[in-house]
Amino acid sequence: MAVARSASQVFGERIRELRQKRGLTQVALSERSGFPQGRISEIERGERAPTLNTMIRLALALDCRVTELVSPFSQTELASFLPK
């Protein structure tokens, strides 16, 4: 049986994937986005849910659209992320 992942975990995995595809370290993404490296780490581990402003800053830092950041959610049953 698959382990359910939270929306924050799915988002964090996507940020890590995009960061690594661009050859960036967490420190480099931190510098580009203006967030502390610790916050980037928390987001990637799914420990911190991003605000819309955070998503916009990350998209700019990763040179992508916000829709690229949230694309995994278009392939997932959204109701699975809501509390039951």
What string of pLDDT tens digits covers the 84 residues of the chain? 455 688 999 999 999 999 999 999 999 999 999 999 999 999 999 999 999 999 999 999 999 999 999 999 887 788 777 776
Integer Cα distance of 33 and 27 in angstroms: 10
In a domain, 21, yes or no: yes
Within 8 A by CB and 6+ apart from 63, the residues are 22
Q: What is the pTM (predicted TM-score) of this model?
A: 0.88
In a domain, 24, yes or no: yes
Integer Cα distance of 77 and 22 in angstroms: 28
Within 8 A by CB and 6+ apart from 55, the residues are 66, 69, 70
In a domain, 76, yes or no: no
Expressed as residue numbers, the domain containing 40 is: 7-69
CATH of the domain at 27: 1.10.260.40
Of 64, 55, 56, 50, the C-alpha closest to 18 is 64
